[in-house]
Copies of this chain bind each other. A is one copy, B any other.
Amino acid sequence: MDIIDQRVIGCLLSDGRATYAQIGDQVGLSAPAAKRRVDRLRASGAIRGFTAVVDPAALGWTAEAYVEVYCRGTVAPHELRQSLEQVPEVVGACTVTGSADALLHMLAKDNRHLEAAIERVRDEPNVDHTESVIVLSRLFDRR
Q: Given known contacts A16-B50, A51-B14, A52-B9, is B58 in contact with A137 (CB within 8 Å)?
A: no
**Contact (Cβ within 8 A) A49 B139:** no
A33 at the interface (CB under 8 A from B): no
**Contact (Cβ within 8 A) B51 A47:** no
**Contact (Cβ within 8 A) B49 A16:** yes
Residues of B within 8 A of A133 (CB): 96-98, 100, 103
- A80: nearest chain-B partner, CB-CB: B139
Question: Copy number in this complex?
Answer: 2
Residues of B within 8 A of A81 (CB): 139-140
In Å, the complex CA distance between A100 and B97 comes to 18
Counting chain A residues whose Cβ lies within 8 A of the other chain, the interface size class is 35 or more
A94 at the interface (CB under 8 A from B): yes
Q: Contact residues of A with B, CB < 8 Å?
A: 1, 6, 9, 12-17, 44-55, 58-59, 64, 66, 77, 80-81, 84-85, 90-98, 100, 102-103, 133-143
